[in-house]
Structure 1
Amino acid sequence: MKVLLVKTSSLGDVIHALPAVTEALTRSGDLQLDWLVEEKFRDIPDKHEGVHEVIPVAIRRWRSDWVGAWPEVKALIKRLRSAHYDRIIDSQGLLKSALITSFANGETHGYDRDSIRESVACLFYGKKHAVDKNQHAIYRQKKLLAASLGYRSNEVIDCGLAAPTSKNKTIMLLHGTTWPSKEWPESAWTALANQIRQDGFEVMAPAGNKQERERATRILGGRAGLLDQLSLGDLMSEMQRCAGAVAVDTGLGHLAPALGVPVVGLFGSTSPGLTGILGPQSQLIASTHLPCIPCRKRECQFQKPSDSSNIYPPCFEQTSPEIVWQALQLRLRSKDTKLN
């Protein structure tokens, strides 16, 4: 059976689809699966052991110049129409992904009206499936593919990415995130980095832009350990070799458990229930001590205090570096991995 999966973005969403792909390939022995994904995230399905072909799209880039991008769009449509698929599964659930799905040649599947993010997308599916919204995105993906391909999904989370059995004695600090309200205080990151080093580990921190580079340099106390503007594939290679990671609510945080790296996820203004870091070697520290948690707002409603000794945002008041490091150490001890 030949299947096309349409799951284009974002980083966390693409990672959430990996266990569904692994399960589908395991349960359907003759399955050949192609994956259509945003070009900047193609390294993720590229590294899955069972994905046959990765088809990159560039919707985010095309939006800035549809006229100039038309030759690329036309080539994509021609490519999709020239191949026949037994199943075309849109697990994105948006109008843009449904339109792409409609260009492909084969039986189209997706969420039904009550299960989808943008209900108009349902108009483009030949087969619609009911999947409960009130469950983690990983399990939603697994159940959609199971319904589309005719098997019963299980609770196993296997991302299908090979993990090395020998790792460096290094901890990666995933400090960058899109919302100020999700940022763990820089002073806490710095204290954590110092404590990790005192216990004999090295520290790394990635940076994707100038602001993250400056913050990472301050956290690290210099440029040693700074991973500056690496490609996603190169960052995955670095992360695979790490003993563990600490992450705020960011797409890269989902990458750690997918690569078999123990991780502690820190959640304040957002809830981890439906899209949080999930995996056998992950642990969440989610704040609950304030009535506004989770506010799900980009900016904290409280003003930043003039006294720099106060924790801000206040939803992280009880998330100390000591608690975080202790939680990760427990994960490291439970992980049967040789540290170099």
Structure 2
Amino acid sequence: MRVLLVKLSSLGDVVHAFPALTDAMAAVPGLRVDWAVEEAFAPIARLHPAVREVIPVPLRRLKKRPLAALGSGEAAAARRALAGRRYDVVIDAQGLVKSALVALLAHGRRHGFDGASAREGLAALAYHVRHHVPEVEHMAERIRKLFAAALGYGLEGRPLDTGLRPDPLPQGDAPHLVFLHGTTWPTKTWTVAGWRALAAEAEKAGMHALVFTQGAAEEARARAIAEGRPAVEPLPPQPLETLIPLIASSAGVVSVDTGLGHLAAAFGVPTIGLYGPTDPRLTGLVGARVAELKSRRDCAPCEKARCRIAPETVAGPPCLADFEAAAVWRALTALSGPR
């Protein structure tokens, strides 16, 4: 059976499709999956063993420079790839108008969420078969149910499995941690003081931490975290292909609510998620060795990019500033013990 999965973005949402692919790979003999995904996340989609071909779609460039992107070779290649083969089933696991339009370019019976359960109800008009999967549980479970309904198998007795496994450290390398401090909302950041105190805990344990950066603000924060801390190594901006093995081979990851944290969790790396303004119940970390630390403030989760309690806060709003590094370290070490 040949299946096209349409799940375009974002990074965390892409990772949340992995358990459904693992289910389908076990349940459907001869399964072949192609994946239409935003071109920036193609390296992530290629990680899952069920995926035979990835079709990169230049959606971000279409938003920024639509005429130039439409005329690009990448856009033409995506259109040819989608229209050039016939699929037994096309599954839009995103439920947005843009993902539905991509699904329409493919030949095959289209399945997706119905109008009441799609993120944008209008998208359901593009599907031949609409499935009611209410938004009352984690997105990864909803996608599992969508796949099961579209491909005709049951989920009973199938544990959630992302299909990824941690990578062993290269021989002779010392174990490393990864601190994921960068995120899109100022309200989702932890304090520099918190990261520095966590680095001190790592130093005492004889470990070092890699700190990824992307953009001027993250580079400045990484320098502040690393100042006077020899165990902290800020890394310059790098492509996903370079960052993925650093995460997969790490001894542990501490992450704010950001996409790479979801990838760490999917690999089965011990992963701590710090949550303040956002609610992990529907879109949190999915993996075998995960702990989510949630703010206990009455105002959290507020789902706001600007803190109403401390509106001038540039980084580390009160709901996240409450987290103490010692508690985060204890949670990480508890996850890192024998499985």
Name the SS for the 1:123 alignment partner: helix
2:302 aligned to which of 276, 295, 299: 295
Which AA in structure 1 matches 2:235?
L
The CA RMSD over aligned residues, in Å, is 2.0
Name the SS for the 2:177 alignment partner: strand
Q: Is residue 277 from structure 1 mapped to residue 277 from structure 2 by the alignment? A: no
Name the SS for the 2:246 alignment partner: helix
Q: Report the count of equivalent residues.
A: 331
Match of 2:160 in 1: 157
Q: Distance in 2 between matches of 1:312 and 1:3?
A: 43
Which AA in structure 2 matches 1:26?
A
Q: Distance in 2 between matches of 1:40 and 1:332?
A: 31
Contact 2:188 2:316 in 1 (8 A): no
Q: Is residue 211 from structure 1 mapped to residue 237 from structure 2 by the alignment? A: no
Deviations 1:51-71 (A, max 9, x none): 110000011112222222223
TM-score of the superposition, structure 2-length normalised? Answer: 0.93
2:183 aligned to which of 177, 188, 209: 177
1:286 aligned to which of 294, 298, 314: 294
Shift, 1:317, TM fit: 4.6
Deviations 1:5-57 (A, max 9, x none): 00010000001011111111111121110001111000112122221100000
Deviations 1:238-292 (A, max 9, x none): 111110010011111101111221011110111111001121100011012x221
1:78-97 equivalence runs, <5 A: 78-97=80-99
Q: Distance in 2 between matches of 1:316 and 1:46?
A: 34
Match of 1:338 in 2: none
Contact 1:239 1:256 in 2 (8 A): yes
Name the SS for the 1:189 alignment partner: helix
Match of 1:201 in 2: 207
TM-aligned CA distance change 1:263 to 1:75, over 3 Å: closer
Match of 1:55 in 2: 55
Contact 2:210 2:234 in 1 (8 A): yes
Shift, 1:305, TM fit: 8.4
Q: Distance in 2 between matches of 1:258 and 1:278?
A: 6
Shift, 1:200, TM fit: 1.0
Contact 1:186 1:215 in 2 (8 A): yes
Q: Is residue 21 from structure 1 mapped to residue 21 from structure 2 by the alignment? A: yes
1:28-177 equivalence runs, <5 A: 28-72=28-72, 73-154=75-156, 156-166=159-169, 168-177=174-183
Shift, 1:105, TM fit: 0.5
Which AA in structure 1 matches 2:117?
S
Contact 2:186 2:316 in 1 (8 A): no
Deviations 1:209-245 (A, max 9, x none): 1111111122122696222111112101111111001
Q: Distance in 2 between matches of 1:192 and 1:103?
A: 49
Contact 2:55 2:81 in 1 (8 A): no
1:319 aligned to which of 323, 330, 338: 323
Of the structure 1 ranges 225-234 and 152-161, higher mean CA displacement relative to structure 2 is found in: 152-161
1:329 aligned to which of 327, 330, 333: 333
Q: Distance in 2 between matches of 1:144 and 1:135?
A: 13
TM-score of the superposition, structure 1-length normalised? Answer: 0.92
Where does structure 1 lack aligned partners over 5 or more consecutive residues?
A: 336-340
Shift, 1:191, TM fit: 0.7
Shift, 1:304, TM fit: 6.4
Q: Distance in 1 between matches of 2:78 and 2:30?
A: 26
- The percent of aligned pairs where both chains have the same amino acid is 41
Match of 1:244 in 2: 252
Which AA in structure 1 matches 2:317?
P
Q: Distance in 2 between matches of 1:65 and 1:181?
A: 30
Q: Is residue 258 from structure 1 mapped to residue 266 from structure 2 by the alignment? A: yes
Deviations 1:297-321 (A, max 9, x none): 1011123689xxxx95111353100
Where does structure 2 lack aligned partners over 5 or more consecutive residues?
A: none
Contact 2:34 2:54 in 1 (8 A): yes
Of the structure 1 ranges 93-102 and 220-229, higher mean CA displacement relative to structure 2 is found in: 220-229
TM-aligned CA distance change 1:78 to 1:317, over 3 Å: closer
Q: Distance in 2 between matches of 1:304 and 1:6?
A: 38
Match of 1:8 in 2: 8
Which AA in structure 2 matches 1:52?
R
Name the SS for the 2:282 alignment partner: coil
Which AA in structure 1 matches 2:150?
S
Which AA in structure 2 matches 1:134?
V
